[in-house]
Amino acid sequence: MRVIAFYSFFEIKDLNLIKDQINNFFQNLEVKGSILIGPEGLNGTIAVNSDKEKKVNFFLMQLGVFQENIKISNFDGKRVFNKFKIKLKKEIVTSDFELNIKDIEGGQFINSKEWDDFMNRDDVVIIDTRNDYEFKIGHFKNAINPNIKTFKEFKKYIENEKSNLQNKKVAIYCTGGIRCEKAGPLMQKHGIDTYQLKGGILKYFEETSAPSWDGECFVFDYRVAVNKELQLGESQLCYGCNMPLTKEDRQSHHYKEGFSCADCYDQLSEKRKRSLADKREHWKRIL
């Protein structure tokens, strides 16, 4: 099984036409995952059989996805996604940053193989543009955590911090590169000299030995996280609050598999506990 993560920003005038083309292409292929279509481009993560990888990649590039924005990883487990779905959205990554395609095309990039040298320069500050729970699972050494719960909050973070960043070079990164393609131009509008990791963490893992990375990389599917070799990581989800947990988190005496973790153990209602217990028994019967 191959997991294909992809995105590209380009103008799409007829969203339904693209949706029909995607549906027609995949109707006879075994595919699961999700694809977002918006006026600003495409964003998706799908799982396909290994022998269909080249055919799918060629189709994505025909639609307008840039080859360098397609990331591939292996998964030998039984399930990555439940089903295949296509959604029409206002934005392919929700931000409310009020950027247009021209703004996004003005971004500055550093490729994976040059990233470590650039990031370790004395005049460079590193900022993680992902959510707080993603940073917790793994991040670049010396990176700043903006402590945001959603990507929308990054705008307020930059507005508050711009005076501290305007005299520096700032390196930013995210999982696959898409959030940075909005965060970078937003920061440049605030007079911050910003450089994005091209292809994100996943491309960095693919092309280097990832010497500057600590931990795993959170991914938005049933794998939860991948390690530096792009293989299934050790992180797991807490079923009580849906937050990712490291191996160390699961050592807490507040962790109860299938129910709670240190963050939510005292916040679960009796109704929620009963629901989790019912679900657990359901999966025991099935599996």
Enumerate the active-site residues.
174
Number of alpha carbons in the 13 Å side-chain half-sphere of residue 186: 23
Q: Specify the DSSP class assigned to residue 26.
A: H
CA proximity to 42, closest of 21, 4, 11: 11
Burial code of 185-210, b = ≥16 C-beta within 10 A, e = fewer? bbbbbeebebbbbbbbbbbbbeebeb
Q: Which helix or strand (DSSP H or E) is residue 66 part of?
A: none
Yes or no: say if 271 and 252 are a contact pair by the CB < 8 Å rule: no
Question: For residue 285, what are the contacts with CB-CB under 8 A and spacing of at least 6?
Answer: none
Give the three-class secondary structure for 80. coil
- Where are the alpha helices (H) located in the chain, listed in sequence order? 15-26, 53-63, 101-105, 112-119, 132-137, 154-165, 180-189, 200-207, 270-286
Rounded CA-CA distance 44/6 in Å is 5
Provide the β-strand partners of residue 237: 244
**E strand or H helix at 214, and its extent?**
strand 213-215
Cα separations in angstroms, 31 against 13, 199, 256, 271: 26, 23, 34, 36
